[in-house]
Chain A
C-alpha cells in the first residue's frame, strides 16, 4: 500500500486551536460561517484565550488585527481560524500576535493570545470558527461537534 492509499484511508485530522466546547458551525450566529460561505468546519466556544496551530503547515496570513489566522497544511488544506465574530472591528485591541506570516508551524505552536474577558466586555461573541476554505477540493470535510476539547484534539476530519 502506497503512501497515497494510506492518506486516502485515514484522512486528515485538524486539531482544536483552543480549549473549550466544540459546536456545529451552524450554531455560529453569523451567516458568513453558518452558511459555510467561508468553507465547512466547526467552532469552538473558547474557555482560554490562547490559540494554537491546528495542524503542521505554514502561516498563510495573520490579520494585523490578530483576530484571525489562515494557514496551509502540508496536504494543501487551507484552514481559517477566526477568533470571535466581527472582532475585526476591535482593531487588535485584546489580541497579541505570537507568530508571523510565512512561518512554518507545528500543530500546537502558539499563534495568538486573546483577552477573552476584554473582548466579551466590549460586546463581542468569542465563538471561534475553524473552517476549511478550500473544502470543495476534498471529498468530505466533517466536523466533530458536541464535545469538550483541549488544544490539539481532533475536531475536523477531511477525506480526499
Chain B
C-alpha cells in the first residue's frame, strides 16, 4: 500500500468539478484508492462519495492506493491534488 497526506489549499474544497476530475484520474488505475478526510473515508472513484467527504480548505486528506499499480496511482493522485486542490 502507498499513501500520502495533503492539506487542501483550494478555498472551495472538493466540490463538483474537482470531484469529477479526480474520479476520471482515479479510474485510470486498477488499485483501490481511498481518501480519508478525518470526517469520512471515501472511495476516490465514486463522485457522490467524494462530494460528501467534507474536504474543505485546511482539511488534511490522507490518500491510500492498494493494488497492482499502486505506485503509479499514488504518484498521479498526489500530482492531481497539488495541481488542483
Q: Does A97 reach chain B (CB closer than 8 Å)? A: no
Secondary structure type dominating chain B contacts: helix
- Contact of A61 (CB < 8 Å), options: B17, B20, B21, B48: B48
In the complex, the answer to whether B23 meets A60 with C-beta atoms within 8 Å is no
- Contact of A78 (CB < 8 Å), options: B12, B15, B24, B48: B48
List A residues 97-142 near B (Cβ within 8 Å): 101, 133-134
> Interface 1/0s, chain B 16-45, versus A by CB < 8 A?
110111011000000000000000000000
Residues of B within 8 A of A61 (CB): 48, 51-52
Q: Does B74 reach chain A (CB closer than 8 Å)? A: no
In the complex, the answer to whether B46 meets A37 with C-beta atoms within 8 Å is no
| Interface residues on chain A, size class | 10 to 19
In the complex, the answer to whether B47 meets A38 with C-beta atoms within 8 Å is yes
Residues of B within 8 A of A37 (CB): 20-21, 23-24
In the complex, the answer to whether A32 meets B48 with C-beta atoms within 8 Å is no
Number of interface residues of B (CB under 8 A): 14
Could you tell me the distance in whole angstroms from the C-beta of B39 to the nearest C-beta in chain A? 12
Could you tell me the distance in whole angstroms from the C-beta of A66 to the nearest C-beta in chain B? 12
Supposing A37-B21, A37-B23, A39-B47 touch, asked if A82 and B16 sit within 8 A by C-beta, the answer is: yes
Supposing A32-B16, A60-B52, A80-B51 touch, asked if A134 and B23 sit within 8 A by C-beta, the answer is: no
CB within 8 Å of B: which residues of A?
A: 32, 37-39, 60-61, 63, 65, 68, 70, 72, 78, 80, 82, 88-89, 101, 133-134
